[in-house]
Amino acid sequence: MRTEQKYQDRQRKIRKRGKKVVGLGICVFLVLLLASQFHYEKRIQKFVLRHEEELTELAELYLESDETQKQKLLEKERRDVHGAVLTGLFPETVAAFYMGGFGLAPSAVYYGFYYSPEDIPVGTGEGQLVKAEEDSACWSWQGYGDNGGEIRRIKPNWYYYKCWF
């Protein structure tokens, strides 16, 4: 009888310890997931500076193309350019690239960069672009509902974007 009781006590302790380990693992995972969201901007800046020549060539080719050629480029480059995916997210005056995102609607965030040949910051067209008072290289917009975004200048003609919906 005592050995049966000891066995059950040991099993309870093991289950309790297992729950603690799983709980701790979930907490660590969530902290790492949250921390990864703070590095997109720096990662994208470095990426653009490292691959600027190739990206500029592709962006200019995209912007000079007619609609049919743009669709072909979007389909071809959908595979990606060193991890960046050419996308038609922004207005026709820029060539936008998607780099990643997080979440599910209605609380999703996505990141990327775009090339603006006239070096003009643009939004997705959903809301008025407003320059940040505290930062001369940053703009934001508020769209419909809780949609919005931020734009930050990386260097002349290149902008980082973060959009949420």
Distance of alpha carbon 72 from alpha carbon 77, whole angstroms = 8
Q: What is the DSSP string of 89-108?
A: -S-TTSEEEEEEEE--TTS-
* pLDDT of residue 81 exceeding 80: no
- If pLDDT is split at 50, 70 and 90, which confidence band does 21 have? confident
Distance of CA 47 to the CA centre of its chain: 13
DSSP state of 126: S
Query: For residue 123, what pLDDT is reported?
Result: 81
Whether pLDDT at 74 is above 70:
yes
pTM above 0.75? no
Read off the pLDDT band of 35 (50, 70, 90). Answer: low
Q: What is the pLDDT of residue 44?
A: 92
What residues form DSSP beta bridges with 159? 114, 153
Note the pLDDT of residue 48: 95
Q: How many residues does the chain have?
A: 165
Asked whether the predicted pLDDT for residue 98 surpasses 60, the reply is yes
Per-residue pLDDT band at 67 (split at 50, 70, 90): confident
Please report, rounded to a whole number, the percentage of residues in the chain having pLDDT higher than 70.
88
How does pLDDT run across 124-158, given as a tens digit for each residue? Answer: 767 778 888 888 788 988 877 788 889 999 999 99
Q: Across the strands, what pairs with 101?
A: 110
114: tokens are 């775009």
